[in-house]
Amino acid sequence: MRHGTDSRRKNYPEERKLDRVPTFDFNEEQTRASRGKIEAFLKKTGAQLWIQQDIIANAKLKKSPNFYD
């Protein structure tokens, strides 16, 4: 899946919720399709999307020496 140089930004919760596509993205249609696949996978598996550069969400995650099973 190819995106613009800063594809990480489109995964922030507010961008996902509002289905916003950054103006600098290479292909809006491809971005929406890719995001749809990610959202479907998350829903199907119950997985969570952790985005390291999302400072607010990252602060809530366990850090070493704690861990997730």
- 8 Å CB contact between 30 and 63: no
The pLDDT profile of the chain, 69 residues, written as one tens digit per residue, is: 434 434 445 457 777 888 888 888 889 999 899 989 999 999 999 998 888 888 888 899 999 998 888
Annotated domain spans of the chain: 7-59
How many other CB atoms are found less than 10 A from the CB of residue 17?
8
Indicate the pTM of the whole model: 0.66
- Answer whether 16's CB lies under 8 Å from 23's CB: no
Please choose, from the candidates 62, 68, 3, the residue with its C-alpha nearest in 3D space to the C-alpha of residue 15: 3
What pLDDT, on a 0 to 100 scale, did the predictor assign at position 4?
40
Could you give the C-alpha distances from 43 to 36, 46, 57, in angstroms and in order?
10, 5, 19
pLDDT score recorded for residue 17: 83
